[in-house]
Amino acid sequence: MKAKEIIARRVALEFKDGDVVNLGFGIPNASADYIPEGVNVILQAENGALRFGETPTKDNYNANLANSGGAPITLLPGAALFDLQTSFAIIRGGHVDATVLGALEVSQDGSIANWIIPGKFAPGMGGAMDLLVGAKRVIGAIQHTTADGESKLLKECTLPLSAKGVLDLVITELAVFGFKDGKFLLKELAPGVTLEEVLEKTAGEVIVSEDLKTMPI
């Protein structure tokens, strides 16, 4: 199983029945395809959609329906479409139970950098800053290392922050982390992954949970 699929599958297990959830583009959006049967999640997109479902097939594809990342979506019964102002009123009003966002870096105090690499063009932070402070629960979905093998889980972020100390959970293809006493709290290891491997690839300080489990995927 590829790294991105492992992360998306594990992210989907965090959703509870009735949750209003906003998914960032990339790996977070992919988690919509793995929501367990019987768990009814209300997906919200900041471009103005509420209650959408799986990625469409060629038989039910509608080019006029897309999420905030531009990926096609399907609408479920009871779905609503609305303007950007209404969408951000939902987010800023605290009505989103959980948001899942990708990241360039995360740090052991729960901070996240996910919007710009200095020297490279970025159109702006977008809705990330609103989601990071407006959602009741914030989950980072991130590959554990860069293409060069450098850890993305750091003592302190080196890139410009999107928000400070807001993360509740970080899910990578190797492990699941919470936070405790200003450090990463290792809660789960992916199947076949050793504790030594995770510690070696994590630049931040790590507390190993006394109840360390195998990641269900």
- Write out the catalytic residue numbers: 46
What does the alpha-carbon distance between residue 99 and residue 118 come to, in Å, rounded to a whole number?
25
CA 97 → CA 2, 15, 61, 124, distances in Å?
A: 28, 9, 28, 24
DSSP, res 166: -
What does the alpha-carbon distance between residue 174 and residue 144 come to, in Å, rounded to a whole number?
7
Q: Which amino acid would we find at residue 1?
A: M
Structure-block tokens of residue 197: 């491997």
- What is the separation of C-alpha 154 from the centre of its chain, rounded to a whole number of angstroms? 17
152 and 145 Cβ atoms separated by less than 8 Å:
yes
Strands of 42-45's sheet, edge to edge?
A: 75-81, 49-52, 42-45, 20-23, 98-101, 138-141, 169-171, 175-180, 183-189, 206-214
